Amino acid sequence: MDLTPGRNMYNSFRLRPTPVPTLPKMAEPTSIKVTIRDIAKQIDHSLLHPTMTDKEIEDGLEIARKYNVAAACVKPYSIKRARRALEDTDVLTCAVIGFPHGNSTTSCKNEEARHAVLDGAHEVDMVVNVGKVLGGDWNYVHHEIETINRTVITTPVGMGGGTAILKVIFENDYLQNHHIIKLCEICTRIGVAFVKTSTGYGFVKGEDGWYTYKGATPAHLKLMRQVCGPNIKIKAAGGVRTLDDVLYVMGLGTSRIGATATVAIIEEALKRGINDVPMEVAIEVPGGQQIHASY
């Protein structure tokens, strides 16, 4: 789809929803060759629960350090703490902004992103404005993602320098496939580093008053991988809890997962004999619509 800037083009989605394209069926993965480092570097260790104390965050950062994961994902006030705790490792510090609902103004998100990078965040996970997505205000959505991406990649990373990257969180539980497709197209055009399925906190309230949550699903991960350009990486978050879950989403082409079950995942990999030598491992395909059926 042509995404040449133009207000009428973006907002036309409000009146005439873009037909969902028929995509070729993506084959289920059957096996994958991995090392223990491959698995560890797939994980963004999540330290985002709203009730976490400083002590719990410190303990979580020690886990990230011990297991040499890709990144520790923290709230903005913990960025400097994370950088200090992870000093002399190659574990990155990832900060969330507009989290978890994405409702801040673009200018607020932009400043939050800038301060996060200046404080030392190597990566920024930003939640889109879900209401604007559902309402089809694609001009707003495009402008917001483009503005924040530009700020993130041009602001020098504090506490050592370097360049940061942006991950855009869709919160797929609230969206239909045509919304996900449009977001993937916009993010591909802008050239963001990652698109991400969920925050882990996008609970949907049903008519009966009960809340449900899916997080990353096989169908959405396949859709995102097929629609996004080859240079855009995918992060699966929400419901990826076991080693088998991780191997499966890796087989679908994801480059990162958000996880709180880091210890269990890596210890299970070690228990199965996965080490520094590449090993072919069978992939267990989920039987239902979710990655982890008990979620």
What are the residue numbers of the active site? 196, 235
Biggest CA-to-CA distance, the chain: 56
Amino acid at 106: T
Structure-token pair, residue 127: 């939640």
d(CA 92, CA 260): 16
Contact 165, 139 (CB under 8 A): no
Structure-token pair, residue 295: 């979620």
d(CA 70, CA 93): 9
- Which residues, 6+ apart, have CB-to-CB distance to 152 below 8 Å? 113, 117, 124, 164, 165, 166
Q: Is the dihedral of CA 199, 246, 37, 251 positive or negative?
A: negative
Residue 169: closest CA among 205, 191, 147, 145: 145
